[in-house]
């Protein structure tokens, strides 16, 4: 019991340090990517601690060793402090207008339409091939089976959100803000039903809706905390539906604890990684994660599974061969790549990346460039992936998102020029 008290004391100390830095950042600026990343990081590595303790003390649920749990919290604190200082160290020159780059608002609407067509068209195509998987599959894990066709199309669903964001940023108003929520939630619900229980497309519009509300002062911070609680309960209910669980009483409370922890704060995964012998993978997981975007038909010896950090963690360390890929988290992915030194270097790099996005978003806001504003804010999902899934998943998704977004923008530029020349 004394060990748990000491562990809790260090947890509270870490929480106080990180929380104070987050609060200071919020006082300086109500919205920034530094603040966003910090909140995601705090939730991922610290929200789950009380849930784990409640499960261990109330239900005798097994935990990793106390030393491993301490190291998990310690690396979480050290990693955040390195990110914090690196963020403030990276001070690029003041932004200057991007000469020769046509971020014309004339091309914004065609870009939004193209992104919307990509998302809606992909969803319809996937639905025609597979039907409504939520009602057709018996288990959630079946959505990863070979029987589900066109799984690559799911990567295009997320482009509906930037399409909505462009229309909002063209003329920000409370009405457009509410329309963003309505259409985003409707599309996310259709995705949930057709794909078979994937909640990301439902959550992303809500998250960005709250962020826009804070930035444009449509919402106060207290509403964020209130709605976060509602979201936790809603995600639990959706998980119960997804896994077909029917539990009552103490079992229902235990189920709530572990589902909520695993959904929002898989911090114990880091502890598991720290407790296992690791064959460090170097930077190859980042390269391998790009394989998921290559058509299997173009590669005779297509590797199965793709050996990224998630699959290494799931198969090698957990011995789970169900087809699911369990999140190693940002710290876990860095550790799998190169141990503690990689955590230190990686978190410094993350600080520079977040700083770059803050600078780009500040420039876009100052110039009123809806395309750039959308590009930055639509990457919110990728930052969630960064913290929860790992660095390798983040880089591949960021490059893929940037390519598709850029192609749609270039095509829109071409359409605008053709129509202007015809006049």
Per-residue model confidence as pLDDT tens digits over 233-264: 877 777 777 666 777 778 888 888 888 888 88
Cα–Cα distance between 355 and 334 in angstroms, integer?
20
SS3 content of the chain, % helix, strand, coil (to 5): 80, 0, 20
Token digits of residue 235: 């995600």
Nearest to 361 by CA among 350, 371, 349, 348: 371
- Give me the chain's average pLDDT, please: 88
pLDDT at 324: 81
Helix (H) or strand (E) holding 69: helix 66-89
Query: Which residues lie below 8 Å from residue 315, measured CB to CB, with a gap of 6+?
Result: 305, 321
Is pLDDT of 337 > 80? yes
Contact, 133 vs 194, CB < 8 A?
Answer: yes
Token digits of residue 62: 């097994």
User: Can you give the pTM of this predicted structure?
Assistant: 0.91
The predicted model gives 405-422 an average pLDDT of: 88
Contact, 302 vs 292, CB < 8 A?
Answer: no
Token digits of residue 94: 């003041």
> 21: exposed, middle or buried (C-beta count within 10 Å: 0-12, 13-18, 19+)?
middle
Nearest to 80 by CA among 4, 19, 33: 19
What is the per-residue pLDDT across 71-83, written as a single tens digit (0 to 9) for each?
999 999 999 999 9
> 170: exposed, middle or buried (C-beta count within 10 Å: 0-12, 13-18, 19+)?
middle
Helix (H) or strand (E) holding 412: helix 391-422
Q: List own/partner pairs for 48-52 with CB under 8 A and 24 or more apart.
A: 48/261, 48/264, 48/265, 48/266, 48/267, 48/268, 49/11, 49/73, 49/265, 49/267, 51/257, 51/258, 51/260, 51/261, 51/265, 52/261, 52/267, 52/268
Give start and end residues of each alpha helix (H) in 155-220. Answer: 160-170, 174-195, 200-215
Nearest to 111 by CA among 166, 54, 169: 166
Give the number of other Cβ atoms within 10 Å of residue 161's Cβ: 26
Is pLDDT of 149 > 80? yes
User: Which of 89-103, 146-160, 336-350, 404-418 shows the lowest mean pLDDT across its residues?
Assistant: 89-103
The predicted model gives 143-149 an average pLDDT of: 74
Secondary structure E strands in 82-133: none
Output phi, psi for 19, to 5 deg. Answer: -60, -40
């Amino acid at each position: 019991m004394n060990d748990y008290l000491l562990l809790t004391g260090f947890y509270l100390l870490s929480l106080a340090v990180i929380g104070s830095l987050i609060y200071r950042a919020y006082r300086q600026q109500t919205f920034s990517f530094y603040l966003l990343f910090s909140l995601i990081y705090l939730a991922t590595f610290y929200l789950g601690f009380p849930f784990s303790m409640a499960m261990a003390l109330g239900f005798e649920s097994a935990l990793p060793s106390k030393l491993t749990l301490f190291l998990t919290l310690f690396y979480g604190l050290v990693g955040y402090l390195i990110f914090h200082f690196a963020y403030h160290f990276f001070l690029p020159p003041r932004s200057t207008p991007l000469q020769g780059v046509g971020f014309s608002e004339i091309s914004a609407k065609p870009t939004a339409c193209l992104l919307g067509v990509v998302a809606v068209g992909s969803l319809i195509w996937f639905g025609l091939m597979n039907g409504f998987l939520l009602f057709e599959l018996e288990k959630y894990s079946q959505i990863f089976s070979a029987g589900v066709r066109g799984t690559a199309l799911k990567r295009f669903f997320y482009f509906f959100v930037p399409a909505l964001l462009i229309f909002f940023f063209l003329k920000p108003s409370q009405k457009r803000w509410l329309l963003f929520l309505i259409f985003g939630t409707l599309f996310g619900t259709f995705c949930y039903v057709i794909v078979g229980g994937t909640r990301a497309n439902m959550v992303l519009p809500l998250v960005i809706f709250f962020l826009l509300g804070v930035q444009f002062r449509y919402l106060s911070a207290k509403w964020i905390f209130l709605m976060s609680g509602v979201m936790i309960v809603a995600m639990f209910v959706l998980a119960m539906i997804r896994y077909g669980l029917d539990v009552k009483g103490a079992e229902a409370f235990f189920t709530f604890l572990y589902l909520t922890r695993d959904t929002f704060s898989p911090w114990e995964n880091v502890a598991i990684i720290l407790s296992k012998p690791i064959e460090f993978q170097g930077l190859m997981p980042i390269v391998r994660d790009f394989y998921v975007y290559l058509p299997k038909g173009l590669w005779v010896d297509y590797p199965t599974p793709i050996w990224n950090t998630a699959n290494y963690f799931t198969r090698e360390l957990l011995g789970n061969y169900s087809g699911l890929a369990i999140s190693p988290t940002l710290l876990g992915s860095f550790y799998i790549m190169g141990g503690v030194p990689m955590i230190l270097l990686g978190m410094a790099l993350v600080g520079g990346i977040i700083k770059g996005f803050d600078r780009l978003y500040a420039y876009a806001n100052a110039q009123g460039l809806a395309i750039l504003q959308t590009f930055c804010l639509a990457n919110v999902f990728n930052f969630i992936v960064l913290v929860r899934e790992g660095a390798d998943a983040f880089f591949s998704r960021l490059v893929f998102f940037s390519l598709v977004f850029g192609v749609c923008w270039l095509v829109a530029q071409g359409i605008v020029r053709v129509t202007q020349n015809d006049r």
